[in-house]
Structure formats: C-alpha cells, structure tokens
Amino acid sequence: MKPDNTQWHTLATADDVALAAYQRILDAALSAIAERGQFKLVLAGGTTPEKVYRLLAQADADWSKWFIYYGDERCLPAGHAERNSVMAGQAFLDKVGIPKTQVFAISAELGPDQAAIQYRQVVKDALPFDLVLLGMGEDGHTASLFPGHQHNSDELVHAVYNSPKPPPERVSISAKALGDARQVIFLITGANKQEAVKLWRSGQDLPVANILSNNVDVYMDRDAYQG
C-alpha cells in the first residue's frame, strides 16, 4: 500500500477548479515534452472536466507531442452524444492539432469484453501516464470503478457490467493502471459530492481512494468541501 500523500486544494468556484487543472495540465505537458518528447494524458469523463477541455481548446501547445487516452468509456454506439469521447472531442480534441493517430479512443461500441481486451494493449504500451485526470461520483466512484464491484486487480483495463450510473455497460482503465502515472488530478465540484469527499477524507475505502500514485492532487470547489 503506497503512503497516502494526497494533496487537497479547495478553491472558491468550479471555474477556479477548471483554471487550476488547466494550468497543471499545461505545466505537466511542457515538462513531459522537454524531458521525454511526448505528453501522455488520460482524460476524465462526465461533466466536470468539460470546463477544462474548453480552456485547453484555446491553449497554445505543441499538440504534435500530445497523446490522449480515456479513463473510461460508456458502451454506447460510436458517436453517441453520451460518450465521454464525444464530449472531449466537441469541447477540446476537435479544436486542436493533436494527430488523430495519437488519440486512443476506447472501442466501447464493441461491448465491455471486446473493448477491454483491445484497450489493454493500448494502455500497456502507454504506461506510465504523465497525467491522469479523474472525476468522482456521489458514491465515490471514479472512471467506471464503482463501489462493491469486483475486478481482477492485475488487469490494466476492466469490462464493467451493472454500472449504477447509466449506461450499465462500460470499459474502465483499472485502479492499478490509473495509478501508474506521474501525476493524478481529481476534479470535484458541487454540493452533491460533499458526502463522498467527507468519507474519502475520513479514510473510507472508496474507489477514488484506491488510485495510488506518488502525486495525487484533488481540486475541489467550496461546494464540494464541507470544511
């Protein structure tokens, strides 16, 4: 078990959280590209990160060196409005010059098992990630790692069934692989996340608490932090 060295940052508003994450991502990209010639970024799904993606779409960066992965994807038809990759594309990826061959979508339309098998090789070739962006659900889930779900902890990518958050079938990078990253940043905003934040900070064994990287930063707004 790695020591818990999570750094907690409480900012006034959701916009402040997005700005802080945006800056951290650009800084991480500059360092990664300077040191290793590439920047391997894992995008979060859900709605919270959209503000960050819209800021990134306006940024001036060496996009030719960026490599994009997804922490999870919903098993919906390709192009479906509810897919995490569609949101990221509309808010960010369709507006910058990252080569399409460097954006690694999860083929979730194939169903959980097939898509997980395929994405395992992608993740294996990518590790370690430079920066992993994650959200958190009201139950303390992250990516598509849900409380009470059993997975083979050695897997790099899981097939997910019976997700309590629709749709029921998903694909998720595993806690092990998400933690194999130089930096992990959680974005958590809104009063509806207060209870899960409180449980996490009190040591509850939630999926968010199992992403064990050397550098984990949680950026939350005042509404999400009970104080």
Interface residues toward ligand 6PG, by CB under 6 A: 44-48, 72, 74, 84, 135-137, 141-144, 165
Nearer to ligand 6PG, 65 or 69 (CB): 69
For the bound state, the minimum distance from the C-beta of residue 134 to ligand 6PG, rounded and expressed in Å, comes to 7
Sequence-distant (≥ 6) Cβ neighbours of residue 159 within 8 angstroms = 112, 113, 115, 116, 171
For the bound state, the minimum distance from the C-beta of residue 174 to ligand 6PG, rounded and expressed in Å, comes to 14
Nearer to ligand 6PG, 24 or 74 (CB): 74
- Residue 137: both structure tokens together: 């659900």
Whether 145 contacts 177, CB under 8 Å:
no
For the bound state, the minimum distance from the C-beta of residue 73 to ligand 6PG, rounded and expressed in Å, comes to 7
For the bound state, the minimum distance from the C-beta of residue 38 to ligand 6PG, rounded and expressed in Å, comes to 24
For the bound state, the minimum distance from the C-beta of residue 66 to ligand 6PG, rounded and expressed in Å, comes to 20
Sequence-distant (≥ 6) Cβ neighbours of residue 33 within 8 angstroms = 39, 62, 65
Nearest to 42 by CA among 20, 81, 74, 72: 72
Nearer to ligand 6PG, 45 or 179 (CB): 45
Nearer to ligand 6PG, 50 or 155 (CB): 50
Q: Which residue in the block uniquely carries the two structure tokens 């996340």?
A: 193
Nearer to ligand 6PG, 196 or 212 (CB): 196
Report CA-CA distances (Å) from 36 to 3, 28, 209: 27, 12, 29
Nearer to ligand 6PG, 51 or 65 (CB): 51
Note the helical H segments in the chain.
Answer: 14-36, 50-56, 84-91, 112-126, 175-179, 194-201
For the bound state, the minimum distance from the C-beta of residue 9 to ligand 6PG, rounded and expressed in Å, comes to 17
At position 113, the amino acid (one-letter code) is D
Paired with 39 in beta bridges are 66
What is the distance between the terminal CA atoms of the chain, rounded to a whole angstrom?
27
